[in-house]
A and B are shown apart, each in its own frame.
Chain A
Amino acid sequence: MAARPTILSLKSVRKIFGTLAAVDSINLDIGEGEFFTIVGPSGSGKTTLLRMLAGMEQPTSGDILLRGERINDLPANRRPTCMVFQSLALFPHRTVGENIEFSLKIRGEARDKRKARALELMDLLRLPQAYYGKNVMKCSGGERQRVALARALAYDPQILFFDEPLSAIDYKLRKTLEKELKDIHRETKKTFVYITHSLEEAMVMSDRIGVMREGKLVQVGSPHEIYSAPTTRFVSEFIGDVNVIPVDVAGDGLLKSVSLKDALKGPVPPKGFTSGHLVIRPEFLRFIGKPSEADNSVSGRLYNEYALGSRIQYQVRVGERVFIVEKLRQQMFTGKLDDEVRIGWDAKDSILVTD
């Protein structure tokens, strides 16, 4: 990906509520036209961060720069940015058309011009034109999402913010809307800054992801980097099930685990790394016959199996430790529950992370 010019820049942004640092010294550059997602569990400060970017909250210290200009004190109604809220915050006493046109009416645009723009946006978002005069509260959940997005787009913002707008929607529709949103991003070429607690959701849509924890940005990277090269256990555990083995670095470069008797072969530990965790994604574990078939192996008991649609997940118990193995349905393991099984993985498929 070519480097994009920076549109939004955060310099040591902090927000203190009482004695709590809700957002703690965040430095971040977001590129023009980028789909950037901030992921974090609830209470990680992501909503506070977004509210500061949108102008609904002032940072305690630090600077927010929009195309190089400091906008800390610019109120939300004068920022060229717009937010799609978690509750959508549609105006219940207005029609679909009036909701979409709200910002245009505020700007004093002529009625027919407003309507033309609203209908254009409704087309883009695949809302039937007949909905123009429909009461917005009579729309379905998915339609309301589209109205909220159209209303924000009508403002013609330079950056669109999203505060978990899909969190209250059922799984199937959410999956559709995630892809739709990414298509709209492509179509409009605007900068999208999205927050969510679901890394899975972030993976589908984002160009880059920033993971937040307790007010700090712990890792920023492409979805691929976040998935395959997490730097901390926190990030590695954020999506799906992973196998995490606490390890200490032995003198010979091998990794020692308290709970497993054999030393493990893993990535070469960086300088100064003495202890941490070895992370192996369940799809990299495989059932093997002899220990020589993989760099590392352990033997245990097949405790249970779970069908996850296209994949099957197996729980293997090795002493006190539980290993999660996943196979595609076509490569289903044929062992029976309570069988002795040997599972193995290669050093290159494991990741060394800090706590």
Chain B
Amino acid sequence: MRRLVQLGQGEKSAIPLLLFLLIGFAAPLLAVIWFSFMPARTFSLFAAPSLANYATIFESTSYISFLWSLGLAAVTVILLALICYPVAYGIVRVFGKWAMLLTLLFTIPLFVSENIRLYGWILFLIKNGVLLGSLKSIFGLELESILFTRTAILLGMVYVYLPFMLFPMTLGISMVPSETRDAAFDLGASRWQVFREIELPLSMPGIVIGFLLTFVLAVGAIAEAKVMGGQRIIPITHDIEIAFTYAQNWPLGAALAVLLMLVVGVLVLLALRRFDLDRFLGRR
């Protein structure tokens, strides 16, 4: 019998990359998924699969951590949207030659590790630190530090994920041609109507991408709660870390990770169905 599948030159050339993706990308993910069906506190991949870990999770209080993670991520995204849209608008339309400098200022912190930047905030905000210490010695003011509160966690998250909202938004706004805005204005629309009817819908692709990007990143956040929140709140990512390290319960950690992926995946798909990027771009 002849070979069933005749591979063309293109398919053959793609094999190395395909193998690389399978080993480097798909395999670890599949391993985590498979691990979540293994018996608790084991390290073997060859036991009989069961849903025991999931049952444990649903009987536990893990949902609190899930809610914290999703809630913090949602609030972060909303705060980022409110902060970034005006800034992005300014970068594209108002600041002119200063836009480049501003963009750089927002980019440079990305070159420094997230943890180092968060510890920088600690030094800045801690009691007798840069901010409160200075206020005390110069003005004699003694204020409570906001460190190790929910506000501090949000501050850290907004700070860390700001570029991921800002740059897609900047791109989205710059995609609105100025003649299109002029046309709406010329047809009698007020500045606000031009914004609502033309600029906002046409910059939607950038906004939606910014939302998705920051939400997915923020749900996976862990350092902010640990460092700036002083472990006052335990997000789901922290639970997963505990399961994999301190508790040495890999299958439970894997099950938590799979659940998180499912929740985030479903939310993202729902958002993408609601905001059809192709439609915004006028392709449909």
Contact = CB atoms under 8 A, between A and B. Distances in A.
Contact of B188 (A85, A90, A106, A136): A106
A66 interface: no
B190 A77 contact: yes
A91 B179 contact: no
Contact of B202 (A82, A92, A135, A152): A92
27 contacts: A54-B186, A55-B186, A76-B185, A76-B186, A77-B185, A77-B186, A77-B188, A77-B190, A82-B187, A85-B179, A85-B183, A87-B177, A87-B180, A89-B177, A89-B179, A89-B180, A90-B180, A91-B180, A91-B198, A92-B281, A93-B201, A102-B184, A102-B189, A106-B189, A137-B282, A152-B187, A155-B188
Interface residues of B, number: 23
A275 interface: no
Interface string B198-229: 10011000000000000000000000000000
B280 A86 contact: no
Interface of A: 54-56, 75-78, 81-83, 85-87, 89-93, 102-103, 106-107, 135-137, 151-152, 155
Given A85-B179, A135-B284, A93 B186 contact: no
Interface of B: 177, 179-180, 182-190, 193, 197-198, 201-202, 279-284
4 cross-chain pairs, A with B, having the tightest CB-CB distances, nearest first = A92-B282, A89-B183, A89-B179, A103-B187
Nearest to B281: A92
Contact of A56 (B177, B186, B193): B186
Q: Which of A55, A77, A83, A86 has the most CB of B within 10 A?
A: A77
Contact of B179 (A86, A136, A155): A86
Q: Which of A91, A135, A155 has the most CB of B within 10 A?
A: A91
B257 to A, nearest CB: 38
Contacts of A106: 187-189, 193, 197
Contacts of B201: 93
A236 B140 CA distance: 82
Given A89-B179, A91-B180, A93-B202, A82 B279 contact: no
